[in-house]
Structure formats: structure tokens, C-alpha cells
Amino acid sequence: MKNLVVLKFGGSVLDGPVSLQKAARFVQDLASTDKVVVVVSALKGATDGLLALAGEKETLSHPEQVAQLLSMGERTAARAFLIAMLRMKLDVRLVDVDTPLWPIITEEGPLDAAPLFEETKRNCEKSLLPLLEEGVIPVVCGFIGKSGKGQITTLGRGGSDVSATLLGKCLGAREVVLVKDVSGVSSSDPDHVKNARRLSEIKLEELGSLASTGAKVVSRAALSFVEGYNLRITSMEQGLNGGTVVAAPARPPGKISIASSEASMITIIGSDVTRAYPALLSLLNELKITPLAASFNNTTAIIYADGKADPERVHSLVDQGLVRAVAVRHGLSCLLLSGSQFENTPGVLSSFTEALYSHGVNVFSLSTLGDSAKIFVLSSSAEKAKQVIARSLGLASKKNSQVQKAHEK
């Protein structure tokens, strides 16, 4: 639905009657030009207060009851927001877990439950789309879901963001807007960096990397459903023409390819390898060799690079007194695995590493970032490894499957 916008209001911007009415006017302005779905978080501080009432031991021993208790934050906030919107004479409908309109279905398990996309999409098409066609504004409780058995579940911290991005994907939204108490995504944490700047735009994979390393603007889980629409992170003051826009085109299907057919594994050993690492990177730059992955401990660093590193040149680090010893291994290849939802699919890594092991392929290193992984194997095993991974993840074409079977024979 090209003119649909999903608006999510964070609890940090909903702290009382005045802010609720301000948010309702925000919706009213947008509803004059677009179809709107509203997702509401619990009012500021409500979830923490409910969690404190439950107590840590009860969270572990009575998770079903805790999930029901925590859900009250969003369920209360949605009703308060509904009243504020009714004052604006808007045509609204409450969408809660106890209504037949409820769309979000999750896996079993009351706390931190993962949404089930296909089931949720079917429910959205059945319940929410007809409302939108009639010009009604659904007000959806964020953060919560319902299992296949009908139990109330919660989506974990940042769950209301997950609700919004999930509904955006299911409904084919033009844009999902997360209204928060920050003006957008910053170049660093403004609580710790005085000169942090708001970014007007950022790529989805870049924001995902920030989220993976602790940035709290939006959860990694919420980003997994951002596809085919723009995500805007903004504040009430910045509005729909400000904040940070996250461009999210349709994701390409999963694929496995050989990123480097001639990779080197460079090992350096010393009392402080971090001191030698910049010199090694400079050397690789001189040799026109691109680093692909690295791992460290206190005395050893291993760098994988795209190209045939010269052992004599690498040994110059010893001559400079930066390290005590070096080793260079050639004859490796780097496989690149990428694909939609790769980073959020449990068991993906084990599924193909076990398959490689069963086919006698040794993995020298495996590194992941977002929805991609780099796998380093012997060059002599690269094609075989590529086909094994493709088959284990269902990425192989019929032709590739035939090639793999022939290879196994």
C-alpha cells in the first residue's frame, strides 16, 4: 500500500496527557494525506515499573504471568492514545490481543518471542487492510504478540520497534516512522561525545552494524523486517521531514560466492601485536592487498587478506622489532555468504559448518557481519565448499545440485 505510513510512538515521548494530545495531532496531520497505522509503546517508565513489580525470580519461574503483566504497559498506553485521538474526531480502532483484529503471531515462549512473519502477514491482510481501506486508523499495542496457542507473548527490549517494522513489511508500507526522544541517528552516542552529529541518511547495513555494537537507537531485531520501504527515525520536533532516513530496498536473495580465490593467512606473534597491526595494514596497502578478516589475542594476530602476501616483506615487521615472529600461508580462498534474514536465522552457521565437516572440508576461519559471512577454506576445496553451503542452505540451483552430486561421486 504505497500511501501507508506506520507511525510508532516510543514511551519516552509519551509521558502524560499533554504529550499524548501532541502525538494525536501528529497523527491527525498525517492522516489528512496518508493511510496510517499507529503502534504505541508503554508510557514512559511503565515497563520498568511493571518489571520491578514482577521481580527477577518471578521472571524466571513464572514467565507466562510476567508476560501478561508486562503487556499491560502497552495495552494501557494504546487505550490512552485512542482516547486522545477520539478527542481529535479521528476514526480509530483499538487493536489488542483480546480483539479479533490482532495480527502479530509469535513462536511459543512468553518472553523475547520471535515473530512469525507469514502468519502475521496473513492476519494483517485479513484484519488490518480492510480497516485501512475504510479509512480507519488502527491503534496497535506494540511490544506484544500472541503465540499459536493463544498465549500472550512479549517481543523483548525494543519490541515496539519490532512491531512497527514487522507491520510495515506485512502491509507494504511506504514508510515506517519511529518517533523517539532523539532527533535521529547520531555519528556517536551524544551522551558521551559532545560533537556527535545527526545523520540525515544512513544505509540499513550501516545502522545494523551500529546496532550490533550497542547503539540503542533501534534494535537489531527491528531492522530484520526493514525491507522495501524507508525507515525514518525522528522526534516530534523534527517531524516527518527530519530525523534520519534509512533507505531499505528489497533485499537480494541469499547467495554464496567466491570472493577471493587467492587469499593469504598472515600470523604475527609478539608481546603487543596491537602495536604492529597498523604497520601490517600499511604494508598490505603498499602491496595492494586488501584485508578481509582479522582475529586477535594478547600475543597473536591472524589477518586474512585478498592476495599473495610476500613472506619476506611481512618479515620486515620482525626486522623493525615490532613482532617476534611471522608466518604466511597461501593457497586459501574466501567464500562470501550473504542473504536476507541471514543474521537472524538461528542455526544457520552450524547448518553449513556441519555440512562442510561431513564433506571433509576444513574451515580455517569464519567471520560474520550483519547478513554476511566470510568462510576461509583451501583453494583446492573452494568449489566443493561453495556447493555444499549452497545445498545446506537451500541456495543451490538444480544445475548446481547436479554438479555437487557429481563431485561427491
**What's the confidence (pLDDT) of residue 228?**
87
Q: Average pLDDT of each block of 10 consecutive residues along the chain (409 residues)?
A: 89 89 95 96 91 79 92 96 95 96 95 94 97 97 96 93 96 95 86 86 86 76 90 93 85 82 94 84 92 88 94 93 94 86 65 91 87 91 93 64 39
Q: Where are the beta strands (DSSP E) in 339-384?
A: 365-369, 372-378
**What's the confidence (pLDDT) of residue 343?**
58
pTM attached to this predicted model: 0.75
Which residues of the chain form CATH 3.40.1160.10?
4-247
Considering only CA atoms, which of 69, 88, 70, 84 is closest in space to residue 31? 88
As a whole number of angstroms, the distance between CA 277 and CA 272 comes to: 9
Cα→Cα distances 119→98, 103, 134, Å: 17, 8, 23
> How would you classify the pairing of strands 92-95 and 137-141?
parallel
Q: What dihedral do alpha carbons 155, 157, 159, 165 form, nearest 10°? A: -130
CATH architecture of 4-247: 3-Layer(aba) Sandwich (3.40)
**What's the confidence (pLDDT) of residue 29?**
94
**What's the confidence (pLDDT) of residue 248?**
74
As a whole number of angstroms, the distance between CA 71 and CA 73 comes to: 5
Q: For residue 232, give the H/E element and its range.
A: strand 230-235
CATH architecture of 255-408: 2-Layer Sandwich (3.30)
Which residues of the chain form CATH 3.30.2130.10?
255-408
